[in-house]
């Protein structure tokens, strides 16, 4: 299943995998924008669009609850233990696919029958025509749940086998399917083209994943006695609890934000859009790049022989993931903070979104931004626990962090309004990251090895972190010094110049400090160019 020469256990392998996932995320986000533009072009701000928003919520939310949350928490860690044997790997994937088909099928049949009350729960305020349309769209859209769920299992299998390209680009294929369906089917089908688009996108996502697994003998069958199925079912309850608690936190957050004035929720939404961009690119990419090798090392740690070497490999891969994530996230955080106003202006300031809205959104982002480095390490630390097939600890920490959010939100809401809620969210994610760091620190017994990059907390790791901080500080000071020169420029030029100058300073200082992470990136670029030249 795995080609040792392409294993992500090496530094280049992790960087290569992270780059692939980043490119897939960029493609998905760009096509997501085109998808929204396409829907807006054909249906605008109409009851049809509102009905579709309600209808798509059900399959997408259920996919996240049933399969999506399990990909990193259970599927990759469990299947990684079978990835060395193609026959056993195929049997494990087949058994999990059989279980997923059964559960998803039951859910679809039940929800088709309950489409009207479910729609009432989510869209009670819709006008009657839009409500009836939402019911019809939901019944069609529910078919996508089967394809999305099976594609999710395939994603876990591919990541477990350290195959990244297909799962990285499958979300982009999903968006492409919706775009094509809306463009080609709106004339004959009308609003149903939206729901059909979900089905087409889900089916295409499954097809592209199946191509990645074509060499594995997979025959979905219901086998509840298979060890992989039993282990996934054991790992699922804490994940479900964590997802439900997280959703509860979101509901409370929105309820509190609705009390801060009519613009409160809008400010948070637009600021969150900017925050989610580096998280989606950097954190998701590096986390999924290190999860498979971490999982394989964790499996080997339980073996009778080689446990010590496997533990060292686990520490080394974890340290590499943390370094790469911070190498990318720290300068991104500082750059976004310094360029926040022109960025918000460039993205949103048109029509009813005026200069005051830009300042309010930029301020909200400024309060959100300090959480980004914590999120960068937090997700990798969560995956480090998932790799050891421990889903309880991260989700218990999640409950504690939600409690911290509630305390901070109640304390900050009255004096600071919506910005107090934003600060509470930053506190929540920072606390989660710090608790996870302390728990992993305790488990690994840092500072660990005295030399090399083989452990988070080792002297060499701290030196690497210091270099990242110095390069980031130099970039930030350079941009601050040039602010009087950049401010008079038109917004697009100011952004472009700021990004170019900031990147140039960061890379120059990194080269001067002989940054190992930068050298890794350069080697990867050089290797890609050589491969392209043939």
376-395 tens-digit pLDDT: 999 999 988 888 888 899 98
Q: Which two tokens stand for residue 356?
A: 């005051």
pLDDT band with cut points at 50, 70 and 90 for residue 53? confident
- Contacts (Cβ under 8 Å, ≥6 apart) of 504: none
pLDDT, the chain, mean: 84
* Length of the chain as a residue count: 534
**pLDDT confidence of residue 526:** 67
Residue 527 reports pLDDT greater than 70 = no
Q: Residue 471 has what pLDDT?
A: 94
Per residue, the 3-state secondary structure of 450-495, as one string, reads CCCCCCCCCHHHHHHHHHHHHHHHHHHHHHHHHHHHHCCCCHHHHH
pLDDT (0 to 100) of residue 450: 40
In-domain check, residue 65: yes
* Distances 394 to 384, 387, 479, 511 between C-alpha atoms, Å: 10, 12, 37, 37
Mean pLDDT of 285-307: 79
pLDDT in tens, 420-460: 999 999 999 999 999 998 888 887 765 444 444 455 666 77
Q: Which among 159, 208, 379 is positioned nearest to 280, based on CA atoms?
A: 379
Average pLDDT over residues 351-364: 85
Q: Distance between CA atoms of 154 and 212, rounded to whole angstroms?
A: 9
Residue 491 exposure: Cα atoms within 13 Å on the Cβ side: 13
The residues, any chain, with a CB within 8 Å of residue 396's CB and separated by 6 or more, are 238
Residue 170 is assigned to a structural domain of this protein: yes
pLDDT attached to residue 10: 57
Contact (CB, 8 A) for 426 and 367: yes
C-beta atoms surrounding 127 within 10 Å: 12
Identify whether 105 is part of a domain.
Answer: yes
H helices present in 114-160, as ranges: 115-123, 128-141, 143-160
Domain residue limits at 164: 45-224
Residue 160 in any domain: the answer is yes
**Tell me, what's the pLDDT at 452?**
43
Question: Residue 478 — very low, low, confident or very high, per pLDDT cuts 50/70/90?
Answer: very high
- Per-residue confidence (pLDDT) for residue 446, from 0 to 100: 55
Q: What is the total count of domains within the chain?
A: 1
Residue 403 domain flag: no
Q: Is the pLDDT of residue 313 over 90?
A: no
Tell me phi and psi for residue 306, to 5 degrees.
80, 10
Highest mean pLDDT among 74-83, 232-241, 290-299, 494-503: 494-503
Query: Can you read off the two tokens belonging to residue 484?
Result: 């009087």
Helix pair angle (340-348, 355-368), 10° resolution: 130
What pLDDT was estimated at residue 448? 43
**Is residue 319 in a domain?**
no
Under the banding of pLDDT at 50, 70 and 90, the label for residue 288 is confident
pLDDT tens readout for residues 181-240: 999 999 999 999 999 999 999 999 999 989 988 887 777 788 888 888 899 888 888 888
């Amino acid at each position: 299943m795995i080609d040792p020469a392409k294993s992500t256990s090496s530094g280049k392998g992790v960087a290569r995998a992270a780059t692939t996932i980043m490119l897939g995320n960029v493609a998905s986000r760009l096509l997501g924008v085109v998808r929204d533009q396409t829907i807006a072009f054909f249906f605008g701000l109409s009851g049809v669009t509102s009905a579709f928003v309600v209808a798509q919520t059900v399959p997408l939310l259920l996919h996240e609850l049933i399969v999506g949350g399990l990909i990193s928490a259970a599927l990759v860690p469990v299947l990684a233990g079978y990835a060395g044997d193609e026959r056993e790997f195929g049997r494990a994937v087949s058994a999990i696919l059989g279980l997923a088909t059964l559960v998803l099928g039951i859910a679809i049949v039940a929800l088709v029958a309950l489409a009207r009350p479910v729609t009432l729960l989510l869209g009670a305020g819709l006008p009657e025509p839009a409500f009836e349309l939402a019911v019809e769209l939901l019944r069609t859209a529910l078919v996508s749940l089967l394809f999305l769920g099976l594609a999710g299992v395939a994603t876990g299998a591919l990541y477990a086998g350290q195959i990244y390209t297909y799962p990285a680009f499958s979300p982009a294929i999903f968006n492409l399917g919706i775009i094509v369906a809306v463009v080609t089917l709106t004339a004959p089908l009308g609003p149903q083209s939206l729901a059909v688009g979900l089905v087409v996108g889900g089916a295409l996502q499954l097809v592209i994943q199946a191509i990645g697994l074509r060499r594995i003998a997979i025959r979905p069958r219901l086998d509840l006695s298979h060890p992989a199925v039993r282990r996934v079912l054991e790992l699922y309850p804490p994940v479900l609890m964590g997802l439900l608690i997280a959703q509860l936190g979101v509901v409370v957050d929105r309820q509190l934000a609705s009390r801060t004035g009519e613009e409160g929720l809008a400010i948070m939404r637009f600021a969150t859009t900017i925050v989610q961009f580096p998280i989606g690119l950097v954190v998701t990419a590096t986390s999924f790049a290190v999860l498979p090798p971490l999982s394989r090392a964790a499996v080997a740690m339980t073996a009778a022989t080689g446990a010590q070497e496997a533990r060292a490999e686990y520490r080394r891969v974890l340290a590499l993931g943390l370094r790469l994530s911070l190498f990318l996230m720290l300068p991104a955080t500082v750059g976004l903070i310094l360029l926040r106003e022109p960025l918000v202006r460039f993205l949103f300031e048109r029509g009813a979104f005026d200069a005051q809205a830009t300042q309010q959104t930029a301020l909200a982002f400024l309060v959100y931004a300090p959480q980004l480095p914590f999120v960068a390490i937090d997700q990798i630390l969560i995956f480090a626990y998932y790799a050891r097939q421990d889903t309880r600890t991260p989700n218990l920490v999640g409950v504690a962090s939600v409690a911290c959010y509630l305390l901070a939100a109640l304390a900050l809401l009255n004096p600071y309004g919506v910005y107090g809620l934003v600060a509470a969210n930053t506190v929540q994610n920072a606390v989660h990251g710090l608790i996870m760091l302390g728990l992993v620190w305790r488990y690994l017994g840092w500072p660990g090895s005295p030399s090399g990059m083989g452990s988070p907390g080792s002297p060499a790791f701290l030196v690497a972190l210091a270099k990242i901080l110095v390069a980031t500080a130099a970039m930030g000071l350079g941009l601050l010094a040039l602010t009087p020169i950049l401010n008079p420029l038109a917004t697009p030029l100011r952004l472009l110049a700021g990004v170019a100058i900031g990147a140039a300073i960061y890379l120059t200082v990194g080269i001067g400090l002989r940054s190992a992470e930068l050298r890794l990136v350069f080697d990867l670029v050089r290797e890609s160019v050589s491969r392209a030249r043939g």
